[in-house]
Amino acid sequence: MGTIIIFALDIGSARNRRMHETFSIGVDFGGTNLRIASYGGDVELLDTIVAPTRLGDGREAVIRDMCEAIEALGKKDYGGRRLTGIGVGSPGPLELPQGILRNPPNLPGWDGFNLREAIKSAIGREITLESDANAAALAEQKWGTGRTYGVESLCMLTLGTGVGNGLILDGSIWHGSTGMGGEGGHIIVQDVDGAACGCGGTGCLEQYASATAILRMAVEIMGADAPASSHEVALMAGAGDRRCLQVFKRVGHALAVALTALINTLNLPLYTIGGGACEAWDLFAPVMFRELRARSYVYRLTAPDILQTTSLEPHKTYILRAELGSNAGLLGACLLPLQEKKSLPQAAGELLPG
The interface with Zn ion within residues 179-198 (CB under 5 A) comprises: 186, 197
Which of residues 115, 135, 204, 324 is near Zn ion by CB under 5 A?
204
Query: CB of 268: closest distance to Zn ion in angstroms?
Result: 22
CA gap 283, 77 in Å, rounded: 46
Taking CB under 5 A as the binding criterion, the range among 52-60, 107-115, 153-161, 200-208 that sits at the site for Zn ion is: 200-208
Q: Which is nearer to Zn ion, 180 or 303 (CB)?
A: 180
Binding mask 55-94 for Zn ion (x = CB under 5 A): ----------------------------------------
Q: Which is nearer to Zn ion, 204 or 268 (CB)?
A: 204
Q: Which is nearer to Zn ion, 153 or 210 (CB)?
A: 210
- Rounded to 5°, the CA angle 26-30-32 comes to 135
Categorise residue 223: left if φ over 0, alpha if ψ from -120 to 50, beta otherwise: left
Q: Which is nearer to Zn ion, 122 or 199 (CB)?
A: 199
Query: CB of 194: closest distance to Zn ion in angstroms?
Result: 9
Q: Which is nearer to Zn ion, 70 or 197 (CB)?
A: 197
CA gap 222, 246 in Å, rounded: 10
Query: CB of 202: closest distance to Zn ion in angstroms?
Result: 8
CA gap 151, 104 in Å, rounded: 31
Specify which residues 167 forms β-bridges with.
155
In angstroms, the first-to-last Cα distance of the chain is: 54
Contact between 36 and Zn ion by CB under 5 A: the answer reads no
Contact between 201 and Zn ion by CB under 5 A: the answer reads yes
Query: CB of 237: closest distance to Zn ion in angstroms?
Result: 25
Query: CB of 188: closest distance to Zn ion in angstroms?
Result: 8
By CB under 5 A, name the binding residues for Zn ion: 186, 197, 199, 201, 204
